[in-house]
């Protein structure tokens, strides 16, 4: 009998099983999760589209950023449709030849996936993002150093901040954990300090955040709403938020839904 867990929890368990083993057959996943093979097949289809698993004859193997970053992969699958929608709209802000700084958020990772192959200068503090660009000869890649946060694979702290003071980029794209009337928030104190350095290094600051982040705060305040020049979100955002951001001088881009596959 199928266990009563949410689809998100079940997908996380599927991902964990495949990550640990490297490869898993569909029947064994169905047996371990106590669900039908058709249910597992739907979960695998979803996780393959997200980019963390790859189907092959006889089973599925892991293709996520790193087997040592399970927290990143779980975050990546949450609200994935919205993240992809936002990333698609944000990618249109970046022209060939631009110098762009990408932080280590799950939505910026989706944006990075869409930018692979474009001629760009990319600066990032994210190991997963850097890995996407490391094998292409169209990108001049700069990786910010510092202390690496083990759960997310981002470098932060005083060494990262010092390096950022020596750089200038046309556009910084940042993710946030919450957007409140008081401003933008993230959950890691050291990360917020590094993102403040990113803001100072950029001619234009773009915040990418799905609609579930609105009305929420977190541990550390990144800055007021006016720290962003542009905010890209999905079409579930409420009109009062658009008006509030507009009053703060922020250009709001509401991403259109993507066509169904």
Kindly list the distances between the CA atom of residue 24 and the CA atoms of 55, 57, 66, in Å, as whole numbers in the listed order: 10, 11, 17
Distance CA 149, CA 156 (A): 7
In the chain, what is the straight-line distance between the N-terminal and C-terminal CA atoms, in Å? 31
Q: What is the CATH number of domain 78-254?
A: 3.40.50.1360
**pLDDT at residue 152, as a whole number:** 83
Q: Could you report the per-residue pLDDT of 83-140, keeping only the tens digit for each?
A: 889 999 999 999 999 999 999 988 998 898 889 889 999 999 999 888 888 767 889 9
Q: Could you report the per-residue pLDDT of 203-226, keeping only the tens digit for each?
A: 999 999 999 999 999 999 999 999
Highest mean pLDDT among 67-81, 122-136, 150-164: 150-164
For residue 63, which of 131, 121, 125 has the smallest C-alpha distance?
131
Selected from 3.50.50.60, 3.10.129.10, 3.40.228.10, 1.10.10.10, the CATH number assigned to the domain covering 7-64 reads 1.10.10.10
Q: Could you report the per-residue pLDDT of 161-194, keeping only the tens digit for each?
A: 999 999 999 999 999 999 999 999 999 999 999 9
**pLDDT at residue 3, as a whole number:** 46
Q: State the burial class of residue 3 (Cβ atoms within 10 Å of its Cβ: 0-12, 13-18, 19+).
A: exposed
pLDDT band at 78 (very low <50, low <70, confident <90, very high): low
pLDDT band at 55 (very low <50, low <70, confident <90, very high): confident
Q: Is the pLDDT of residue 76 over 60?
A: no
Domain ranges of the chain: 7-64, 78-254
Averaged pLDDT of the chain: 88
Question: What is the pTM (predicted TM-score) of this model?
Answer: 0.74
């Amino acid at each position: 009998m199928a266990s009563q867990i949410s689809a998100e929890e079940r997908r996380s368990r599927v991902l964990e099983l495949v990550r640990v083993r490297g490869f898993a057959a569909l029947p064994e996943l169905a047996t371990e999760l106590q669900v039908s093979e058709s249910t597992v097949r739907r979960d695998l289809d979803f996780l393959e589209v997200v980019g963390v698993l790859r189907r092959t004859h006889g089973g599925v193997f892991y293709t996520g950023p790193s087997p040592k970053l399970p927290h990143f992969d779980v975050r990546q699958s949450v609200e994935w449709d919205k993240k992809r929608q936002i990333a698609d709209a944000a990618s249109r802000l970046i022209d060939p030849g631009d110098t762009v700084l990408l932080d280590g958020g799950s939505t910026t990772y989706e944006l990075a996936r869409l930018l692979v192959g474009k001629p760009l200068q990319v600066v990032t503090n994210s190991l997963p993002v850097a890995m996407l660009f490391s094998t292409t000869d169209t990108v001049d890649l700069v990786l910010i150093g510092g202390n690496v946060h083990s759960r997310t694979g981002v470098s932060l702290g005083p060494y990262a901040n010092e390096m950022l003071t020596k750089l200038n980029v046309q556009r910084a794209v940042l993710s946030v954990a919450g957007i409140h009337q008081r401003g933008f928030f993230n959950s890691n104190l050291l990360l917020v300090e590094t993102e403040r350095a990113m803001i100072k290094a950029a001619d234009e600051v773009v915040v990418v955040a799905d609609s579930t982040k609105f009305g929420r705060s977190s541990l550390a305040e990144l800055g007021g709403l006016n720290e962003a020049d542009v905010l890209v979100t999905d079409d579930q955002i409420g009109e009062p938020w658009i008006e509030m951001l507009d009053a703060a001088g922020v250009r709001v881009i509401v991403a259109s839904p993507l066509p169904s596959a």
